Chain A
């Protein structure tokens, strides 16, 4: 069974989407480790180490995702998690910005998959299957 760590990063308390992701991934056979809302980068990383996670899925809905995710990939590498897939999704930037540019920005920051508002959770399922096998 593949293990994925999910949670909401930074000073963000949006819990509903987090619960939906937890539910859908669990239903589809993933071992979901949910660090919950108001989680720091270290919370995600520590959880991924102990549970030997294959992917980390970060949610952010309050617009500060870009700040909260800064140097996350670098910290993962530092912690020996360089092979763990990183996904991020939600309202991850301030205001309305071009989707393609946002995706580009987060991919440069080291994320493997980037999801914009309105995207279906099923897409993430397809991607997880592709990325983790």
Chain B
């Protein structure tokens, strides 16, 4: 036996997964409340104790890797020029790096905006604007504004390269910590996230986890290598592409429904599948993540009625659901008690309806859309976003989907719908559930043992 330990410092729980690298199986998992306000290691030690009690056979742990979304996760501000172009490119870069995009600004920053930015509790700023050789006035102006207000969080500059010298001169001699990387949109509509993503991860490892009190954990484990959402995205990408002789699953879509947010990850190019369809807008990332802050099982539950009305809400109940739900009351109850656990069938059915809505709406927002145009040469279609009709697997993760007996039914909400015909949703996917909750751990494990990670995913995603 060669045990390897994977740790996820979550906002509520510190979760441990032990795998055996020799036999390639999950030995066991455990969790304990995250103790970020005192000493983060207390929670870790507690979880480890539980794990070792349940599995005394674990000896000589060969290595430990960790990811973190504790203390509010990684919060970023995305700044660009045009909303549909460099602002969108900056946003996608942050999301792909596992961050929460708290603030978004376009065009010239105003004094009010930079004040607002300085007062917010964001961790990193991503400053973009202009294609290479394009507009450099705006990004330089915005850099000046950030300097004037004395911004004290790291800034990643990923805009028009022609502006870099000027910005560097501006920041030199100040206390501003800045990183210059290649443009997130070097040419019109071309997305380039790699370098900026690496910079985000670098700052996360070097600074953020320290500021959030998670650095202490490194005394006992090797290192915290990425934010949890990035670990999930990394795992998905590996599962999709495969590794050496281990074949991948092809294009896939992952839904992660949490208490406050719903994340959707897709892996695949998403190019148009038909010749009469013309792709519009900014290039889509191959591994794409979107986060919906108004869709969640608990904290965000009360926001649901602003998205679907009472009548529409009822459609998400099962046909044979005989319970008489008070929708407003049930939602408020969950919002006010985020640790609410359903006990009766009635409550369980209601949770299921919430999960269906989170699933349906988040996928609507994530997938590409087509729009018909009548031209003298016949009907043509514009496609914005990814065409996911040929996605082969839909995978569910996150509390409700892992534990609910009807998880597959909930995930059916991701597929093609007759009343949403213009959305490019998966037509006939196979549905898998991350029952053992291993996706983020496998993203971590894949950094050192990609082949083991993909084999474990194939075995444990059911």
* Residues in chain A within 8 A of chain B (CB atoms): 1, 3, 11-13, 31, 33, 35-38, 42-43, 46-47, 49-53, 62-63
Contact = CB atoms under 8 A, between A and B. Distances in A.
Given A11-B374, A62-B375, A37 B135 contact: no
Contacts of A31: 133
Interface stretch (B219-227, B250-258, B376-384, B446-454): B376-384
Interface in B80-130: 81-82, 84-86, 129-130
Contacts of B82: 46, 49-50
Most chain B beta-carbon contacts within 10 A, residue among A1, A33, A49:
A49
Contacts of A37: 278
Interface of B: 81-82, 84-86, 129-131, 133-137, 185, 187-188, 278, 280, 373-377, 380, 382
B135 A12 contact: no
B374 A51 contact: no
Contacts of A62: 375-376
A38 B136 contact: no
A50 B375 contact: no
Given A1-B133, A13-B380, A52-B135, A47 B188 contact: yes
Given A11-B375, A13-B380, A31-B133, A49 B278 contact: no
Nearest to B135: A52
B163 to A, nearest CB: 11
Contacts of A11: 373-376, 380
A29 to B, nearest CB: 13
- 4 interchain residue pairs of minimum CB distance: A51-B134, A52-B135, A11-B375, A11-B373
A31 to B, nearest CB: 6
Given A11-B380, A46-B82, A33 B188 contact: yes
Contacts of A42: 84
B94 to A, nearest CB: 19
Given A33-B131, A43-B280, 20 more contacts: A3-B134, A12-B375, A13-B278, A13-B377, A33-B187, A36-B278, A38-B373, A38-B382, A46-B85, A49-B81, A50-B82, A50-B86, A50-B129, A50-B130, A50-B134, A50-B188, A51-B133, A52-B130, A52-B136, A62-B376
Contacts of B134: 3, 50-53
Nearest to A80: B107
Nearest to B373: A11
11 contacts: A1-B133, A11-B374, A12-B375, A13-B377, A33-B131, A37-B278, A38-B380, A50-B185, A51-B133, A51-B188, A62-B375
A42 B81 CA distance: 14
Nearest to A51: B134
A38 B383 CA distance: 11
Nearest to B379: A11
A46 B106 CA distance: 12
B142 to A, nearest CB: 14
A127 to B, nearest CB: 23
Contacts of A1: 133
B135 A46 contact: no
Nearest to A39: B280
B185 to A, nearest CB: 7
Most chain B beta-carbon contacts within 10 A, residue among A31, A43, A51:
A51
Contacts of B376: 11, 62-63
B133 A50 contact: no
A5 to B, nearest CB: 8
Nearest to A12: B375
Given A11-B375, A13-B375, A35-B188, A50 B382 contact: no
Contacts of A43: 280
A122 B44 CA distance: 72
Most chain A beta-carbon contacts within 10 A, residue among B85, B187, B375, B377:
B375
Nearest to B279: A36
B135 A38 contact: no
Nearest to A42: B84
Nearest to B136: A52
B280 to A, nearest CB: 8
B380 A50 contact: no
B131 A50 contact: yes
Contacts of B81: 49-50
Nearest to A36: B278
Contacts of A12: 375
Most chain A beta-carbon contacts within 10 A, residue among B81, B373, B376:
B376
Contacts of B375: 11-13, 38, 62
A99 B373 CA distance: 29
Contacts of B380: 11, 13, 38
A93 to B, nearest CB: 15
Nearest to B137: A52
A101 B310 CA distance: 58
Contacts of B280: 38, 43
A50 B80 CA distance: 10
Nearest to B132: A51
B403 to A, nearest CB: 45
A17 B375 CA distance: 17
Nearest to B374: A11
Nearest to A34: B188
Given A11-B374, A11-B380, A12-B375, A49 B188 contact: no
